[in-house]
Structure 1
Amino acid sequence: MQAVIDLLGTIAHELADKPLLYAALPVMAAVVGYVTNVLAIKMMFLPIRFVGIPPYLGWQGIIPRKSGKMASIAVDTITQHLITVEEIFSRIDPERLARELEGPMTAAVEDIADEVMNEHHPTLWVSLPAVIRRRLLNNLKAEVPAVVRDITRDVRRNVHEVFNLKDMVVSKLIRERTLINRIFLETGHAEFKFIGRSGLYFGFLFGVVQTLIFTIFQTPWQLPVAGLLVGYATNWIALHLIFNPRDPVKLGPVTFQGLFMKRQKEVARDYGNLVADEILTPANIIESILKGPQADRVVALIQRHAQQAIDAEIGLARRFVPLTVGSEGYRVAKTAAVRQIIERLPMNLRRVESYATDAMDIRNTLITRLQALPPDDFEAMLRPAFKEDEWLLIAVGAALGMLVGVGQMFLPGVG
Structure 2
Amino acid sequence: MTFKLLLSPIICALIGWVTNYLAVKMLFHPHKPIKVWPFVIQGIFPKRQNELAESLGRMIEKELISHEDIKSVICDPSFIEKHKVVVLDYLDVFFKEKVTTLHPMVSMFLNDDTMKTIRGMLSTELDEMLPKLIQTTSSQLENSLDFKCLVQKKVENFSMEQLENILFSIMKKEFRFIEIFGGVLGFIIGLIQIFIFI
- Length-normalised TM-score, structure 2: 0.61
Distance, in Å, in 2 between the alignment partners of 1:230 and 1:288 is: 54
Secondary structure of the residue that 2:40 maps to in structure 1? strand
- What's the RMSD between the two structures over aligned residues? 4.1
Question: 2:155, 2:57 → 1: CA distance?
Answer: 8
Equivalent position of 1:371 in the other structure: 156
Name the structure 2 match of 1:255: 40
- 175, 188, 194: which one aligns with 1:403: 188
Contact 1:261 1:378 in 2 (8 A): no
Cα 1:229/1:218, change in 2 over 3 Å: same
Task: Give the counterpart letter for 2:148 in structure 1.
Answer: R
Matched letter for residue 283 of structure 1: E
Native 8 Å contact 1:265 1:371 kept in 2: yes
Which amino acid in structure 2 is aligned with residue 382 of structure 1?
Answer: L
1:395 Cα deviation (Å)?
A: 1.6
State the shift of 1:305 in Å.
Answer: 4.3
CA distance in 2 between counterparts of 1:352 and 1:277 reads 22
Q: For residue 303 of structure 1, what is the aligned residue in structure 2?
A: 85
Q: Partner residue of 1:226?
A: 11
User: In the alignment, which of 243, 260, 270 is matched to residue 28 of structure 2?
Assistant: 243
Letter in 2 for 1:358: N
Structure 1 residues 354 and 400: alpha-carbon distance in aligned structure 2, compared to 1, 3 A threshold: farther
2:167 and 2:143 map into 1 onto residues whose CA distance is: 28
- 1:239 CA displacement: 0.3
- For structure 1, which runs of at least 5 residues remain unmatched after alignment? 1-215, 309-321
Q: Distance in 2 between matches of 1:405 and 1:277?
A: 47
Question: Is 1:362–2:144 an aligned residue pair?
Answer: no
Note the alpha carbon deviations across 1:124-178, whole angstroms, 9 max, x for none: xxxxxxxxxxxxxxxxxxxxxxxxxxxxxxxxxxxxxxxxxxxxxxxxxxxxxxx
Query: Secondary structure at 1:223's aligned position in 2?
Result: helix
Question: Which one-letter code corresponds to 1:271 in the other structure?
Answer: L
Match of 1:267 in 2: 52
How far apart, in 2, do the equivalents of 1:283 and 1:380 lie?
A: 32
- Specify every segment of 5 or more residues in structure 2 that has no aligned partner in the other structure, as ranges: 92-112
Deviation track 1:196-234 (CA, whole Å, cap 9, x = no partner) reads xxxxxxxxxxxxxxxxxxxx8884323322331232122
Matched length: 167
Q: How many Å separate the matches in 2 of 1:263 and 1:368?
A: 14
Q: Among 64, 79, 82, which residue is 1:279 paired with?
A: 64
Within 5 Å, give how 1:128-207 maps onto structure 2: none
Match of 1:382 in 2: 167
CA deviations on 1:344-364 (whole Å, 9 max, x unpaired) are x6xx95x98676333212212
- Cα deviation, residue 392, structure 1: 3.5
Query: 1:381: Cα distance to partner?
Result: 4.8
Q: CA deviation at 1:267?
A: 0.7
TM-score of the two chains, using structure 1 as the length reference: 0.33
| Same amino acid, percent of matched pairs | 21
Shift of 1:371: 2.5
SS class of match (1:230): helix
Greater relative contact order (Cα 8 A, min sep 6): structure 1 or 2? 2
**Aligned-pair CA distance for 1:266:** 0.8
Distance 1:401 1:353 in 2: 57
Q: Summarize deviations over 1:111-132 as a string: whole Å, max 9, x none.
A: xxxxxxxxxxxxxxxxxxxxxx
Residues 304 and 232 of structure 1: CA distance in aligned 2, closer, same or farther (over 3 Å): closer
Q: Are the equivalent residues in 2 in contact too, given 1:283–1:353 (CA < 8 A)?
A: no
Whole-Å Cα distance in 2 between the matches of residues 372 and 405 of structure 1? 45
Shift of 1:275: 1.7
Instruction: Report Cα offsets for 1:236-275 as digits up to 9, x if no partner.
Output: 1110111101122234553321111001111111011112
Tell me, yes or no, if the aligned pair for 1:229 and 1:401 is still in contact at 8 Å: yes
C-alpha distance 392-378 of structure 1, shift in aligned 2 (>3 A): closer
Supply the AA of the counterpart residue of 1:303. Answer: V
- Asked if 1:391 is matched to 2:173, the reply is no
Counterpart CA distance in 1 for 2:38 and 2:24 is: 25
Amino acid at match of 2:191: V
* Secondary structure of residue in 2 paired with 1:220: helix
Quick one: structure 1 residues 382 and 392, their matched pair in 2 at CA, closer, same or farther if it must change by over 3 Å? Answer: same
The one-character-per-residue Cα deviations of 1:266-301 (angstroms, maximum 9, x if unpaired) are 11110111122233422333456678xxx87x7432
